[in-house]
């Protein structure tokens, strides 16, 4: 199911997966398509792609919920698809990822991406690509330098995260948030939360939360508590995604990434 809304000069396409009821967004602004959505929503997204004009696609990162429609767009729209240079080769082969993600997001077929430049132009605006690793090594946010609007990929999502993917890093995510906060913007368009009018403020709240939680984790770790004990004290969760994902999603990853960084920096 998809729902299309217009906010300022941005077309927001919200898709909700049949499996897991997960929300994901595709945005269209000034001839730019931001992300392509997951393969599982492609039947609903194709009519939107067919009836709207765009000259290029800019991808926030290589994950399948953001690149699942890229192959179809490449075959039928014949427009360039840009991504972080580190992900170009990865996109040229069919993606491999756990079965549960294929059930929710569908398959991500190979496509030919081009390396994005640090700055680029759309029809009327100048843009900057900002590298924001932590969630993904190739993660990018896109800042409209004329309007001060930020397309933040998966940097925000929620102000109080508990569950993390096994490959995510809390300290690196915090550094990326700090980096983004040095830019002049207010609104954000998040690929899972949608339009956030007070986006910069909410990113600050997320950073405050992650910094405070990290401090608590380190304090308990220095007191001799085990990772499991820290989890039960600070981040207890029985969310079904933990078992469904075979622990690829888990609150443990929040704790272990903080401790790993702490021990490395000592």
Boundaries of every domain in the chain: 2-265
Residue 32: strand pairing partners: 29, 56
Handedness of CA 211, 176, 96, 44 (dihedral sign): positive
Confidence at residue 128, expressed as pLDDT on a 0 to 100 scale: 99
**Strand order in 81-83's β-sheet?**
2-7, 10-16, 23-29, 32-34, 56-58, 81-83, 114-115
The topology (CATH level 3) of 2-265 is Metallo-beta-lactamase; Chain A (3.60.15)
Backbone angles phi, psi at 191, to 5 degrees: -75, -5
In the chain, which stretches have pLDDT less than 50? none
**228, burial (CB in 10 Å: exposed 0-12, middle 13-18, buried 19+):** exposed
The model's pTM? 0.96
Rg (CA), the chain: 19
Task: Please tell me the distance from the alpha carbon of residue 234 to that of residue 4, in angstroms, as a whole number.
Answer: 38
Q: Which residues pair with 209 in a beta bridge?
A: none
Cβ count within 10 A of residue 162: 16
pLDDT at 265 (0 to 100): 86
Q: What is the DSSP string of 212-230?
A: HHHHHHHHHHHTT--HHHH
Apex 65 CA angle, 28 and 199, nearest 5? 55
Residue-level pLDDT at 214:
98
**The pLDDT of residue 20:** 78
């Amino acid at each position: 199911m998809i729902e299309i809304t217009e906010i300022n000069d941005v077309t927001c396409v919200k898709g909700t997966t049949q499996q897991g009821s997960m929300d994901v967004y595709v945005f269209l602004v000034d001839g730019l398509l931001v992300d392509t959505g997951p393969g599982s929503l492609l039947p609903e997204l194709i009519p939107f792609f067919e009836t709207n004009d765009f000259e290029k696609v800019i991808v926030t990162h290589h994950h399948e919920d953001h690149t699942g429609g890229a192959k179809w767009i490449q075959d039928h729209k014949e427009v360039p698809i840009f991504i972080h240079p580190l992900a170009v080769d990865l996109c040229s082969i069919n993606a491999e990822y756990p079965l549960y993600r294929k059930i929710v997001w569908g398959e991500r077929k190979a496509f030919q991406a081009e390396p994005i430049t640090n700055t680029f132009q759309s029809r009327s605006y100048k843009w900057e690509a900002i590298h924001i690793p932590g969630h993904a090594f190739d993660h990018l946010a896109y800042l409209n330098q004329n309007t001060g609007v930020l397309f933040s990929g998966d940097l925000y999502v929620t102000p109080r995260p508990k569950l993390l993917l096994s490959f995510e890093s809390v300290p690196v995510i915090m550094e990326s948030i700090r980096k983004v906060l040095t830019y002049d913007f207010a609104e954000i368009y998040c690929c899972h939360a949608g339009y956030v009018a007070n986006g910069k403020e909410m990113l600050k709240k997320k950073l405050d939360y992650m910094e405070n939680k990290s401090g608590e984790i380190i304090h308990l770790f220095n007191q001799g508590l085990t990772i499991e004990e820290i989890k039960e004290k600070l981040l207890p969760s029985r969310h079904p995604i933990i078992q469904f994902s075979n622990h690829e999603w888990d609150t443990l990853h929040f704790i272990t990434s903080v401790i790993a960084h702490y021990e490395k920096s000592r």
